[in-house]
Amino acid sequence: MKTFIVLIQILYLGNAFHTAPKTLTSQRLSAVGSNAVIKLQTHLHSSTTSETTTSSTTPKKLSRDRYVATNRFQVRPNKSAAFEKRWATRKSRLATLDGFKYFHLMRRVSLESSEDPLDGEFGNYVSFTVWDQKKDFNAWRRGDAFKEAHGGTSIAAFLSTMVSSALILKGAPKPAFYDGLLFQSTAPDVTPELVDGWRNVEADGINCLPAECFVACNQFHVPAENSIAFEQRWANRDSVLKECDGFVAFSMLRRQVGGGGGSHGDDKGISGTDDPSYVSTTIWKDRESFNKWREGNAFKAAHGNGKETVKKSEPLWIKPPTPIFYEGTLVISTEDGA
């Protein structure tokens, strides 16, 4: 009975809506990716949002630039290649759907060989999908394309998906949904080959797929009363990130939690409890590009380690930020980027 319940959870929660953990490095990169915001004119909440305003000069939460859907997976030991094969060979037409912007599957890695990237409370794989608007995501998950991608077209396909998931995954997937703030990206030099809206790659289930990008994240646990100040602080940062070699995309992700959304999330607030309420996410062409930025002047300037002294502000989070790192594979992107 317990196995059956886990299987049901896997199908319900883990329908892989195309979807971070204790510190992976002893080197505290307190805001990895925090350089990632150029000094942007930020979009404040408009009359179409749920926010109410009292004055045009009152600071407000930032408006959403993108909608980001993630799913976190704990893959069993020695099952990584099999898990990646399932993704590589799945039936999906994601790239043909209205509002789709970007996708990759992330496998967690460490910066130091002594650390175990598979040991993490948030799982060792994350699917990461960027949509232009939340309504585009909702249209996908309610349509036939979602059913096709998740084995829901027949009873046989349903049972096959359940059994396969139970053999590869440890527990049910954990979806998480975000408002993508301060989004910026570059157009890719080339776009990967697609067949009917999905990647066309060889996957043997024995060897892991090659890395196609490197992702640096930083988790912030910000209490709700500090959320506006936190967002405004990021919005007013200076950065030359877009000028750095190998930069692909950046976003500050604001977690959506609370009433009514079920496993699909909603837009009612953020939380500073177990899961991080904000995650800065920077995508690089490869690890070499990330290391070059981290060791260069752009990183020092963004983090107050340059020649000029940067005035330190009081932290707005309840505990130090936690950096985590991934390799991305099965990248799908529009021609203009994420």
How far apart are the C-alpha atoms of 200 and 89, rounded to whole Å? Answer: 8
Question: In terms of pLDDT, which residue wins out, 243 or 41?
Answer: 243
Per-residue model confidence as pLDDT tens digits over 110-163: 987 655 555 555 689 999 999 999 999 999 999 999 988 877 666 666 556 666
The percent of residues in the chain predicted with pLDDT above 90, rounded, is: 58
Angle between helices 155-168 and 80-88 (to 10 degrees): 150
Please name which of 215, 211, 219, 249 lies closest in space to residue 325, comparing C-alpha atoms: 215
| Residue-level pLDDT at 151 | 73
Q: Is residue 309 scored above 90 in pLDDT? A: no
Average pLDDT, rounded, for the chain = 79
pTM: 0.78
Residues facing residue 335 across a β-bridge: none
Q: Is residue 198 very low, low, confident or very high in pLDDT (cuts 50, 70, 90)?
A: very high
| Residue-level pLDDT at 24 | 34
Q: Is residue 10 scored above 50 in pLDDT? A: no
Q: Is residue 296 very low, low, confident or very high in pLDDT (cuts 50, 70, 90)?
A: confident
